[in-house]
Structure 1
Amino acid sequence: MNTPIRRLGLVVAAMFCALLLASTMIQFVQAKALNDKPGNRRTMLASYAKERGSIIVDGRAVADSQPSNDDYKWQRRYNQGPLYAAATGYFSFIYGTSGVERGYNAYLSGSSDKLFYRRLTDILTGKTPQGASVDLTIKAKVQQVATQALGKQKGAVVALDPKTGAILALVTSPSYDPNLLAGHDMTKVQNNWNALLKDPDNPLVNRTIGGNLYPPGSTFKLVTTAAALQSGKYQPDSELPGPATMKLPGTSNTYLPTDDNRPCGPGDKTSLTRALAVSCNTAYASLGLDLGGNALRDQASKFGFGMDLSIPMSVTPSTFPSELNQPQLAQSAIGQYDVRVTPLQVAMMSAGIANGGKVMRPYLVQTVRDKNLDVISTTDPSTFSQAVSSDVASQLRDMMVGVVDNGTGTNARIPGIQVAGKTGTAEHGKGKIQHVWFTGFAPANDPKVAVAVIVENGGTAGQEASGASVAAPIAKKVMEAVVSP
């Protein structure tokens, strides 16, 4: 055999080896990842050939599949679509999946390995294959109350069971109707998608867990307080400076004022408890400067800042800035500068304090059941972190009760039930109206619910808005929906 033919033979052999290797990689190694891609049209088309499992809230389907007279066989339907869109997400032939539809797709589509023997039985008995149903932790009453209380204002509400981490309400506003993306008229679906993308209010953004994160404002003072108490250098009655204004160190003429431009106590002094109750900016800026950036950063991380989390949707990590100079540190201690959070993170802060310092891992799905209603899997509560000691959590709880009883959070009071809370206002750009917050839990002595509420740009109250006047009444209604008969 001459040299050119031998070389050609080697090239052909190498090409066959490469082809064999590539096909092996695709068919075996990468097969699951490719099948699980949200936009895989072949997988999506196959999934329409059988009934997709339902997504359930309080025993009723908020997402199910109905027989269709076209080639797709089944039509996904969302009952009260906008109400639950933040949880269910969408199931679309063109745009794939989001929310629980994506996170639990293997169960809902019936392709999970845990359903293998059930699929095999269906084949042998000639039964129609069907996906599993998914039971959410959301409580219909709480979700409805939270949605109605927030109304048409832009923002979000998250409610948790502090003892388990179960998500009781997940509301983002404005919302959208997943039915707009689930149709079989592809032209119409594309038009709906483009309209949602062009909407300046960004209804496709789930504000509870992502999007452009929010500055927490004074709700972050819970983290600063926790760091102070954990340090052992401070007690609830420790005295702090609380003047009407404070010159930021390292600046020539930059001052931080209190909200009302008044001292927080006689002689420009206040206790730590009173500073939290009246949300004294100057006291907390001084406290942050004394504690240092590392102490605040470490305490924030213990509540979940910077940590990856899935509920099953991926949650954008909240952030506390690094390498702060003194003015930046003072502002960060009151939840400004570059501190950024999700509403879920703020709810986790209150939930951890409510639960004796133990932050439970939040979750949205309680149980997965097959078509015979047999349980396939269930979510057990698990600890996410130990944010503070039980003693410090007890001190924080009492201080937060003081915020509601005698401080800025009086609009969150529930008759006959002790409520713990913290208000917040957050600047987010020069000339823009502040965002307003409330976070807290109830009953304070035996917590059943922890909540976080944010209303963007002051909501309907505009310039007159505060966490006390706008966010606290919303939180009150949500907590009442859980704790009142």
Structure 2
Amino acid sequence: MTKELRRLSFVVLAMFLSLFVASSWIQVVDADNLAQNAANTRTRLDSYQIQRGSILVDDSAIVTSVPTGDRYQYQRVYTDAEMWAPVTGYFNPALQAATGIESALNSDLSGTGSNAFFAEIERILSGQPQQGLSASLTLSAKAQRAAWDAMQEKGYQGAVVAIEPATGRILAMVSTPGFDTNKLAAHDPAAVDAEHERLVADPAKPLYNRAIAGNLNPPGSTFKLVVATAALRSGDWTLESTLPNPAVYQLPGSDRQVSNAWKGTCGEGETTTIAEALRRSCNIPMAELAVELGGEAIRETAELYGFNTEFDIPLEATPSSYPPDLNAPQTALTGFGQGQVTATPLQMAMVAAGIANGGTVMTPRMVDAVIADDFETHTRFTDEAFDQVLTAAQARDLTAVLVEGVGSGAATGARIDGVDVAGKTGTAENGGNPYSLWFTGFAPAENPKVAVAVVVEDGGGRGQSGSGNGIAAPIAKKVIEAVLGR
């Protein structure tokens, strides 16, 4: 073989290898991205031939597809649509619109992703019609129902999130007011557009998933758990460390004063402990503590709990925020969850769950598996630790204080006979607007099965007279009871 022929052979071989790599990349590595591209008309039209997979909770379908006589061939049907709306979202082929799990797992549910490739080949060979894969969620129907009913009973606007502390599995995710996903999944574009415009114009913002997004609320006194954690992590403070106990506290470098909710001191005496401040939910000692710790120490601890992180659960959760570079008066306000700190119920449930889990914060997730109609598992999702925020001993000490807070302190609205509940309430100011009412906690304290966070917006209809203990804590109690089967 001549030198020129060898060179030509190498060129042809290189071209062949390039073509092989490029085609393999397109057909395998980048297949999902191309299939889900909005400009991919072929995939969209092909998907109409496929019966979309179901969405399952407790092995029962909460979303199915039924045959229709129109060009889209299948219609999505949502059971208890408003209750599950923040979880499932909706899918509309007529408008090429999808939200929630319907969007996050679209490639699997539609049968157009790489997970469905071999199932598609098998069905072609067998002559059976292709079906999309189904998603088995982590949620509990009992917990979701308890949270929904408790929020709906008095028409509260807000959200509830429940988490299994040891795993991060989300057991409930409710956002109220809800909306009927069936109306947004209809194949009549004009009717769907009209309904969507109505929901967008609604001042209560029912399309917001308040559990993980929307206009985030200040967490109020529930954030005291993060500040107390920062103190324990420093090594310079214990729960029995003392702080000055005035009835009025002037923010450093400011002419603004803050007080405890009842306008008095945090118990008797010239000093009080961190533990007492948590039990009674005192603002002044926690503001003093925040200034002593400094904003950076608090921010670092908040980030170990998940603040300033965007979680993909696989829904995209808006990051809760503890900003950097706060000055002393701003830092003092965050000591009791005011000022520039904001949080989602998901985040505050993670705080409670991290304490419940011996100081280990788990990454939240809401999908257990993607499965075929023959129950073969295509993807299994596993538990993953996010970070370690406390030692086990520190978590136990903090838990004991939170149990006392529910037993005889500021969080008695979450008490359950025969069960040690650990929890913290919050009543957060929103300027001159009605308060945001919070509770976060877990149970049973000695062997936690569930951590819950509740936020009720707009003061629960009581303006600035509602409280986290009176309104949010009883909702969490009902969710805990549902999970524990009480």
Residues 475-484 or 341-350, more deviating: 475-484
Deviation at 1:265, TM superposition (A): 2.1
What does residue 354 of structure 1 align with? Answer: 356
* Code of the aligned partner of 1:83: M
What does residue 193 of structure 1 align with? Answer: 196
Aligned partners of 1:146 and 1:474 also within 8 Å? yes
2:459 and 2:303 map into 1 onto residues whose CA distance is 28
Aligned partners of 2:35 and 2:112 also within 8 Å? no
What does residue 75 of structure 2 align with? Answer: 75
The share of aligned pairs that are identical, in percent, is 46
1:388 and 1:297 map into 2 onto residues whose CA distance is 15
What does residue 177 of structure 2 align with? Answer: 174
1:445 and 1:143 map into 2 onto residues whose CA distance is 24
SS in 1 for 2:147: helix
Alignment of 1:189-338 (within 5 A): 189-251=192-254, 253-338=255-340
Residues 149-158 or 112-121, more deviating: 112-121
SS in 2 for 1:433: strand
What does residue 64 of structure 2 align with? Answer: 64
Deviation at 1:308, TM superposition (A): 2.3
- How many residue pairs are counted as aligned between the two chains? 461
Deviation at 1:464, TM superposition (A): 2.1
Does structure 1 residue 442 correspond to structure 2 residue 424? no
SS in 2 for 1:381: coil
Unaligned 5+ residue runs, structure 2? Answer: 1-22
2:62 and 2:354 map into 1 onto residues whose CA distance is 30
Does structure 1 residue 477 correspond to structure 2 residue 482? no
CA distance 1:341–1:457, shift in 2 (3 Å): same
In the TM superposition, what whole-angstrom CA distance separates every residue of 1:222-270 from its partner, at most 9, and x where no partner exists?
000001111111112111112111011112x311111100011223321
Deviation at 1:42, TM superposition (A): 5.4
1:421 and 1:216 map into 2 onto residues whose CA distance is 14
In the TM superposition, what whole-angstrom CA distance separates every residue of 1:422-460 from its partner, at most 9, and x where no partner exists?
00011122x211110000000000000000000002113
1:42 and 1:178 map into 2 onto residues whose CA distance is 27
CA distance 1:217–1:410, shift in 2 (3 Å): same
In the TM superposition, what whole-angstrom CA distance separates every residue of 1:97-155 from its partner, at most 9, and x where no partner exists?
11111111111111221221111011112110001111111111110110011112110
What does residue 363 of structure 1 align with? Answer: 365
1:158 and 1:148 map into 2 onto residues whose CA distance is 14
In the TM superposition, what whole-angstrom CA distance separates every residue of 1:409-428 from its partner, at most 9, and x where no partner exists?
01100000000000001112
Deviation at 1:461, TM superposition (A): 3.2
Deviation at 1:171, TM superposition (A): 0.2
Residues 306-315 or 446-455, more deviating: 306-315
CA distance 1:339–1:39, shift in 2 (3 Å): farther
What does residue 392 of structure 1 align with? Answer: 394
CA distance 1:42–1:86, shift in 2 (3 Å): farther
1:413 and 1:73 map into 2 onto residues whose CA distance is 51
What does residue 119 of structure 1 align with? Answer: 120
Alignment of 1:16-95 (within 5 A): 32-37=32-37, 43-93=43-93, 94-95=95-96
Deviation at 1:45, TM superposition (A): 3.7
2:92 and 2:40 map into 1 onto residues whose CA distance is 11
In the TM superposition, what whole-angstrom CA distance separates every residue of 1:39-60 from its partner, at most 9, and x where no partner exists?
8665444322210000011122
Deviation at 1:82, TM superposition (A): 0.7
Does structure 1 residue 414 correspond to structure 2 residue 416? yes
SS in 2 for 1:366: strand
Aligned partners of 1:308 and 1:317 also within 8 Å? yes
Aligned partners of 2:320 and 2:342 also within 8 Å? yes
Aligned partners of 1:421 and 1:438 also within 8 Å? yes
1:342 and 1:39 map into 2 onto residues whose CA distance is 34
CA distance 1:38–1:161, shift in 2 (3 Å): farther
Aligned partners of 1:275 and 1:283 also within 8 Å? yes
CA distance 1:159–1:295, shift in 2 (3 Å): same
SS in 2 for 1:49: coil
Aligned partners of 2:88 and 2:100 also within 8 Å? yes
Aligned partners of 2:64 and 2:76 also within 8 Å? yes
Residues 42-51 or 442-451, more deviating: 42-51
In the TM superposition, what whole-angstrom CA distance separates every residue of 1:74-115 from its partner, at most 9, and x where no partner exists?
111111111111110110121521111111111111122122
Deviation at 1:462, TM superposition (A): 3.1
Aligned partners of 1:433 and 1:463 also within 8 Å? yes
Unaligned 5+ residue runs, structure 1? Answer: 1-23
Deviation at 1:27, TM superposition (A): 7.8
Deviation at 1:30, TM superposition (A): 7.6
Aligned partners of 2:406 and 2:424 also within 8 Å? yes
- Superposed CA RMSD: 1.9
**Which residue of 422, 425, 428 maps to 1:423?**
425
SS in 2 for 1:427: strand
SS in 2 for 1:86: helix
**Which residue of 149, 154, 158 maps to 1:155?**
158
